[in-house]
Amino acid sequence: MQREVGDDEFRPILELFLDEIETIAFRLAGDDPQRMERDFHFLKGCARNLGFRALAAICDEFEQLVISGRMGEVRLDRVFDIYAQSKQLFMGELARNRASATLSGQRWQDVRSGTQRGSGHA
């Protein structure tokens, strides 16, 4: 998604997705099966858009449990744990990509200006 919209537009979209995911995840504790089914479906789509494969898979599994009338088998603690892990990995990867892009941009600037870091030439 980041490649499709660009860095400047990605940050607000990311914040919106994460806010929505967290709002809906905390709402899951209710006892309305239709709402829970819709919420799991929505979370599954958000997770897929962000590349949170494990979260998408657990949301799909739990959505199917709710549809089949087996709400008691849904373990929300697993949803929260997988979301937290997915978010942490994603944010770490995002930070690494930004650092790499910044470093690459600096190297390109050095090449364009004729400066080579660490080569002893200025």
Please write the tens of the pLDDT for every residue from 26-65: 888 778 999 999 999 999 998 998 889 999 999 999 999 9
Query: Which pLDDT score is estimated for 21?
Result: 85
Residues with Cβ within 8 Å of 20's Cβ and at least 6 positions away in sequence, in order, are 42, 46
**Residue 1 binned pLDDT confidence (cut-offs 50, 70, 90):** low
How confident is the model at residue 57, as a pLDDT? 97
Query: Where along the chain do its domains lie?
Result: 2-112
CA–CA distance, 47 with 60 (Å, rounded to integer): 10
Per-residue pLDDT band at 67 (split at 50, 70, 90) = very high
The pLDDT of residue 122 is 47
Higher pLDDT: 93 or 110? It is 93
Query: Using an 8 Å Cβ cutoff, are 56 and 47 in contact?
Result: yes
* pLDDT recorded at residue 93: 84
Label residue 41 left, alpha or beta by phi (over 0 means left) and psi (-120 to 50 means alpha): alpha
Residue 105 pLDDT level (bands cut at 50, 70, 90): low
Return the CATH class of domain 2-112.
mainly alpha
More confident call, 55 vs 98: 55
Alpha helices, DSSP H only, in the chain? 2-5, 7-27, 33-50, 53-67, 76-113
Smallest CA-to-CA distance from 15 within 100, 99, 79, 90 is with 90
